[in-house]
Amino acid sequence: MGIVGRKRSAAGFSALLLLLPIFLITFLGRFQVVSGLSDTKYRQVSSLRLERIKGHLDKINKPAVLTIESPDGDTIDCVHKRKQPALDHPLLKNHKIQRHPSEMPKVKKDRVGDDDDDDDDKEAVRDAWQMWHRNGTTCPKGTVPIRRSTVGDVLRAKSLLHFGKKQPRLSLTTSNDPPYIGMNMHEHAVAYTRKSTRVVLGAKATINVWSPSVQLDTEFSLSQIWIASGYPSGFNLNTIEAGWQPQVELYGDCLTRLFIYWTADSYGATGCYNLLCAGFVQTNSMIAIGGAFSPSSYLGMQYELTIFIWKNWWIRIGDIDVGYWPAELFSCSRDHAAWAEWGGEVLNRRANGQHTFTQMGSGHFPYEKFQKASYFRNIEIVNVNNILSRAKDLKTKARNSRCYKIKISNNIPWGTYFYYGGPGNDFNVGLVILNRCPGS
């Protein structure tokens, strides 16, 4: 190359250097660095996406009367009950908040045969209580506690549309299966009402709270009560759900948390977890939906959670009426449901083509029993006559009994009860105590 060619190349390179800052300013100006995110893949977000996320958060994070910083890292906003997200729902624009349930089921006491001696120790059992109460601060009367959502919470979801929602499911069930058994990638160990029940007006149980190990951020392990109507294989499945779960993708940590869920269209456009969309009306200032619990320990203290859901559809945690799902939200469950289920569920992503290591319940099989395995006890149902009584003739099923099992029984102190759960694909659980937390 001659001297002239070298001069032209040098001149062109110099021009590129002069244009480079302009290019960087133009291109990188479309992105912002989001602080407070531990995972680098979330740190750079387009300005347009960030603007949309913040707009959504403004809708669900309502102005607070008081803000409480929880020891577990949560921010709890005490929001005036008339400003809560529920009332943004189009069907609830003129909704008058109920202060108390309009009607309570009648209670029928059953004595059951003691066909299984359970060695539970009352001294080893306590009611679960949420961590945000530990500093002694509570929300004022007339407000409701709402766990504040962050940009990081939304960015962990597949998209803004998916934030706070379960995936729509393809039903693979047969006519003899309960509605949730066989759902795509979802594995269960559950007890459920028979088809002959037909009308369900409520369900209740006491569950011990654990902190199961979850293999992937995008998997979860939960224990809950389902009340449902409609057709699982169609688009009108209505569910009301409540229980406990650790879910890294939703909360950003492995803490075990109280959750609720609802859908009126088979997990399609309607419904969400907790208060992440309009719908559920909270009425009490003591319990934060999405708040964390202290879990039970193996051979140690057992922390329990009693959940009661009944028409129209109120939820009680322990002895506290937390709030309700207005009947207007539902298409098939406005005045009654068709069945109820109790038990555990795991989302199995089959990483590397193998069954997940995610645990259900305590991560131990039912035969280990009290202080070792997870349980539902005093399982009750509200029948067509609005009477709460022991649930009888329940059926059980575990889709993959090699990994998760269930064993049902009854006795006098626990009524109808079952132990359930398992280690997933990890059969060293009895030898090695697992504590994997993918989000940490």
* The predicted structure's pLDDT at residue 151: 95
pTM of the prediction? 0.86
Q: Render pLDDT for 138-195 as a digit per residue (tens, 0 to 9).
A: 999 999 999 999 999 999 999 999 999 998 765 544 455 566 555 678 899 999 998 7
Catalytically annotated residue among 187, 219, 249, 345: 345
- Rounded CA-CA distance 307/223 in Å is 11
Q: Render pLDDT for 360-371 as a digit per residue (tens, 0 to 9).
A: 999 999 999 999
Instruction: Please compute, for residue 220, the number of CA atoms within 13 A of its CA located in the half-sphere on the CB side.
Output: 24
* The predicted structure's pLDDT at residue 231: 80
User: CB of 207 within 8 A of CB of 305?
Assistant: yes
With a CB cutoff of 8 Å and minimum separation 6, the contacts of 233 are 171, 173
Report which of 60, 107, 89 is spatially closest to residue 388, judged by C-alpha positions.
107
Establish whether 341 is a catalytic residue.
Answer: no
Establish whether 368 is a catalytic residue.
Answer: no
Sign of CA dihedral 233, 239, 243, 244: positive
* The predicted structure's pLDDT at residue 26: 46
- Rounded CA-CA distance 212/343 in Å is 14
Going by their DSSP bridges, the two strands 221-229 and 339-347 should be labelled as antiparallel
Report which of 384, 385, 382, 363 is spatially closest to residue 374, judged by C-alpha positions.
363
Going by their DSSP bridges, the two strands 387-390 and 106-107 should be labelled as parallel
Residue 376 pairs with which residues in a beta bridge? Answer: 207, 418
- Rounded CA-CA distance 122/112 in Å is 20
Catalytically annotated residue among 187, 219, 241, 380: 241
Kindly list the averaged pLDDT for each block of 10 residues, start to end, along the chain of length 440.
44 50 45 44 77 95 96 96 96 93 88 55 81 89 97 94 83 53 79 86 97 94 95 84 97 96 94 97 97 95 97 95 97 93 94 92 97 98 95 92 96 96 74 44
